[in-house]
Amino acid sequence: MWRSSFIPKDRSGRRKRPDMEDVHGVVIVGGGIGGLATALALHRKGIHSLVLEKSETLRADGVAISIHANGWRALDSLAVGTELRELATLITAEHRVWPQQNKTTLAPTRKELRCLRRKDLVQTLANNLPAGAIRFGCHIAAIDAADPSSHGAVLTTVDGSTMKAKVLIGCDGANSVVAKFLGLSRPSQLPCLGILGLTSYPKGQPFGSEYLHLLGKGYAFGQIPITGNIVHFYINMSIQSTELKKSFKTRDCDDTDTTKDDASKGKDYALQKLQECQCPAEIAETVRRSDPESLKILTRMWYRPPWRLVLGRFQRGNVTVAGDAMHVMGPFNGQGGAAALEDAVVLARSLSLAVPGGVDAPMATDHGLQEKIGAAIGRYVQERRPRVVKLSLESFVMGALLGAKSLVKKVVCAAILGILGSKSRFQANYDCGSL
């Protein structure tokens, strides 16, 4: 029996008191979009899990998130799609502007696309979980393999307490401790500046249901309505010099706050860029009147290069990863979060087919249970790998195109995006299937 035979040692080599030991079935590290969606997917299939989140409250970094048809399908599988659609305008047209080339296209959006406030998404996922499903303020510092007879893991928190998980799912973002346990290398950093924010229009926003992309030299500006009164905007810029890094305090996606100083610098910087490209006045106005509390400046973004996803080890016994912990990618195709939702559905489906009663069933009565769980995780990894390689490649190439100076590089990037069907948003129309 796990509870009686496994008493871990603390860092000084002493045995911990048995009453400090905590044994769980499915443990999910990280209560972001990926972790909450995975817990909800498992819950919908009758499998209990425990989410461990290092923050004291729900986090909603990144301001807003565009969700394409693939993400909405996954949210429908989680039975929260209808509720969330109430909070996000359906985008009906995409307007693309290339100021340098004096080129503009306006096309109807053929597949579902809506933008949600992050806090609405994480709150809705969390609200649909049973009470006690999330343990806040639980920061996992290290993962170790469990005793050889089992396939689980031992988790150590920053305050030194330990717990054991029969199944461990790392949804702990780009700098995942679970990914480290699996042997995945640290993700790479993207030389990119991101400025994100929300603008409120109490009397109604003037952009209707149109998504605007402005693709300038070395930067991309996006403006997407969330509701009739709130608009989300972002600016992504490729940065070659260290000048920007010096101007802003280093921030990455795992940081919680943007300082007021950085926010105001970021706003000025964005306005200057928009002025340089002579963008229409109402666009600059969106940035100018943005809600200062909502502004986020990111000077570091992470990505796992697609070639590392091809062979990366995503399973060790009954331990795996999902969301950014598995496939963090740049924001260029707006798919990282939706891919995390897909992961949740596929993983829960695979586990529930293998162990319909959940993993809390007494282990001793079924010696094959561990192997069944391991095989289910293996099928999840097998199903997700080609999908996340394609998404990651798409994002990687889109980012490369943004910073491309030579014609050859631009042509190669455009050709790869053509093969991936990026123009027709082929990847955004993927169906990960039902739970």
Ligand X SMILES: Cc1cc2nc3c(=O)[nH]c(=O)nc-3n(C[C@H](O)[C@H](O)[C@H](O)COP(=O)(O)OP(=O)(O)OC[C@H]3O[C@@H](n4cnc5c(N)ncnc54)[C@H](O)[C@@H]3O)c2cc1C
User: Which spans of this chain sit near ligand X (rule: CB under 6 A)?
Assistant: 29-35, 52-55, 59, 62, 65-66, 71, 139-140, 171-173, 177, 194, 196, 253, 298, 301, 323-325, 331, 334-338, 340
Distance CA 270, CA 125 (A): 33
Complex with ligand X: residue 21 or 172, whichever CB lies closer: 172
Query: What's the min distance (Å) between Cβ of 410 and ligand X?
Result: 23
Please answer whether residues 187 and 171 qualify as being in contact, where contact means their C-beta atoms are separated by less than 8 angstroms: no
The pairing of beta strand 49-53 with beta strand 134-136 = parallel
Distance CA 238, CA 109 (A): 27
Complex with ligand X: residue 175 or 200, whichever CB lies closer: 175
Q: What phi, psi does 32 have (nearest 5°)?
A: -90, -160
Query: What's the min distance (Å) between Cβ of 361 and ligand X?
Result: 27
Complex with ligand X: residue 334 or 370, whichever CB lies closer: 334
- CA 217, 219, 221 angle in degrees (round to 5)? 120
Query: What's the min distance (Å) between Cβ of 357 and ligand X?
Result: 27
Q: State both tokens at 255.
A: 């940081």
CA 39 from chain center: how many Å?
Answer: 15
Complex with ligand X: residue 38 or 205, whichever CB lies closer: 38
Complex with ligand X: residue 209 or 372, whichever CB lies closer: 209
Query: What's the min distance (Å) between Cβ of 304 and ligand X?
Result: 11
Q: What type of residue is 346?
A: V
Query: What's the min distance (Å) between Cβ of 152 and ligand X?
Result: 17
Please answer whether residues 211 and 112 qualify as being in contact, where contact means their C-beta atoms are separated by less than 8 angstroms: no
The full length of the chain comes to 435
Query: What's the min distance (Å) between Cβ of 428 and ligand X?
Result: 9
Complex with ligand X: residue 6 or 211, whichever CB lies closer: 211
DSSP bridge partners of 15: 9
